[in-house]
Amino acid sequence: MADESEMRRKVYWWLERPDRAATGPWLLEIALILLITLNVTAVILETVDSIYDRWGTALLIFEGLSLLVFVVEYAARLWVAPENPDYESRAKWATSPIALIDLLAILPALLYLIFPVDLRLLRTFRMLRLLKLTRYSPALGMLLAVFEEEAGAFFAGFFILMVMLIFAASGAWLAEHEAQPDAFGSIPAAMWWAMATLTTVGYGDVTPITVAGKIFGAAITVIGIGMAALPAGIIASGLNDQLHRRRASLEREFRKALEDGNICEADEADIEALRKQLGLSRRAADHIRVRVHAETDPDKGRCPTCGQQTEKQQP
């Protein structure tokens, strides 16, 4: 049992890399990123008939080997999940967004082994492996965190969109069903125009021709501009909040390191590892460092005789 626990800790160290400066796990991470990139490239190239006809067998072998690696990776991450302090059990890890992405990356190919379908149909689903880069990209991780935290706001926006869609389709049907029975003969048929107008796409294949329909369509178009901006505003606000949290986290690490009056090499290594993990630039970290130093040592940069500021303090 002790041997199993020790082995699990080692595998967790390799996969999750708590020590961001470790060379071995870093090389493994680079290899997985390269494999994901090659998989996405292979899926793209498979859509070119000339390439698929010539290299189809090699691409299938590469897909099989990649699937084996991803399955082993998923199983290993599931096995070491209890070592992660963020998860209480394997079930909690398996239902987390990052674990679901890992599962979706291998599920289409596994389904093909059980249910024979057109392999090319699964190419689109195999593109989901691109989302696995979320684990290694702080920027994508930040975006995923925004979607996770703002799920309620996104659901509310989607609900409002559905209400407006039904309202717009009903109004268009009332105004246009007699003049254009083919395009607006029913409320479901009018929903195509309503969706294109609310999302400000406006294909132009279906347009109102009556006076009432044009007035109603103009109103829906104006409303659609606001509807299109709603999710963008949620994402922008969420990303800004995430960025402030990450900067606050790095600032806390600086303050913790300065409790004894100076930052030693071990503290610098921890701060640099946290900076990389949070995806913050060196310039942002330097600004935080200067501000924390100024706040913890207010006499720094002052003349010992007159007390005047001798060097410019950055906010």
For 178-195, what is each residue's pLDDT tens digit? 888 888 888 998 888 888
How much is the CA Rg of the chain, to the nearest whole Å? 27
pLDDT confidence band for 314 (50 / 70 / 90): very low
List pLDDT tens digits, range 215-262: 988 888 888 887 777 888 888 888 888 888 888 888 888 888 877 667
Cα–Cα distance for residue pair 208/247, rounded to 1 Å: 51
Cα–Cα distance for residue pair 9/71, rounded to 1 Å: 20
Residues 259, 260, 264, 270, CA torsion sign: negative
Q: What is the pLDDT of residue 224?
A: 82
Q: What are phi and psi of 53, to 5 degrees?
A: -65, -35
Q: To the nearest whole percent, how much of the chain has pLDDT over 90?
A: 8
Q: What is the pLDDT of residue 122?
A: 65
Q: What is the pLDDT of residue 116?
A: 63
User: Are 77 and 15 spatial neighbours (Cβ–Cβ below 8 Å)?
Assistant: yes
User: Between 309 and 197, whose confidence is greater?
Assistant: 197
Q: What is the pLDDT of residue 231?
A: 83
Q: What is the pLDDT of residue 220?
A: 87
Domains belonging to the chain, first-starting first, are: 2-136 (1.20.120.350), 137-315 (1.10.287.70)
Cα–Cα distance for residue pair 132/130, rounded to 1 Å: 5
User: Are 156 and 150 spatial neighbours (Cβ–Cβ below 8 Å)?
Assistant: no
Please state, as a whole number, how many other Cβ atoms lie within 10 Å of the Cβ of residue 151.
11
List pLDDT tens digits, range 127-170: 778 888 877 777 777 887 888 888 888 888 888 888 989 999 99
Q: What is the pLDDT of residue 304?
A: 44
Q: What is the pLDDT of residue 19?
A: 56
Mean of the pLDDT values across residues 198-204?
72
Average pLDDT, the chain: 80
Q: What is the pLDDT of residue 299?
A: 53
Cα–Cα distance for residue pair 20/25, rounded to 1 Å: 8
**SS3 (DSSP) at 48:** coil
